[in-house]
Structure formats: C-alpha cells, structure tokens
Amino acid sequence: MRGTRAISAVERLKARSGNAGYTAVAMPGGWFRLVDKTGGIEREVGEPMPLEAFVAFIDRLGPPKPKKTSKLDEAFEAQIKRSGR
C-alpha cells in the first residue's frame, strides 16, 4: 500500500509535467526518493524521505493541477467580463 501511494503521486506528477522520466525508488525503512531518468541520465531529485513527506514534495513539483470549472462558473466569469468589472 505504501509503495502504491508513492507511485500514484509520481504518476500524477508525470501527467502534470509531461515528463515520463520520473520514477519513485523505494528504500529500506519505508523511505522513498524521486529519480529523473530523462535523456538516459539518472538524476536524483530532492533527497530520500518518508512516505508522507515524499507525497507532499511531489505534489509541490511541476505545474499545479488544473482547476476544474463547471459550465456555470465559466458562464459567470464571461458575464463578469462582459459587464466590464
């Protein structure tokens, strides 16, 4: 379960950043590290950390997740722009 949570966080990072070279590496003691294998070169990103800190670190990397907006929100924003405010 612990590894699955770390891998899921890395998969979200891959989707947000468009970089498929990110990989989670499990270490003894339940620690994880992030590795970027882009261009055939393995580069460690950050330092080894426990699961909770690892997931929080990954969530801060890369571009933020796009906010979902409803059609009503979009219509409201358009109405505000039309009114000149």
In tens, the pLDDT along 23-63 reads 999 999 989 999 999 888 899 998 999 999 999 999 998 77
pLDDT at 2 over 70: no
**Domain of 68, in residue numbers:** 2-83
Q: How many domains are contained in the chain?
A: 1
Q: Which two tokens stand for residue 49?
A: 């950390």
Q: What is the dihedral of CA 5, 51, 57, 38, to 10 degrees?
A: -70
Nearest to 58 by CA among 70, 68, 50, 67: 50
For residue 65, the 8-state DSSP code is P
> Helix H segments across the chain?
2-17, 51-60, 71-83
Give the pLDDT of residue 28.
Answer: 92
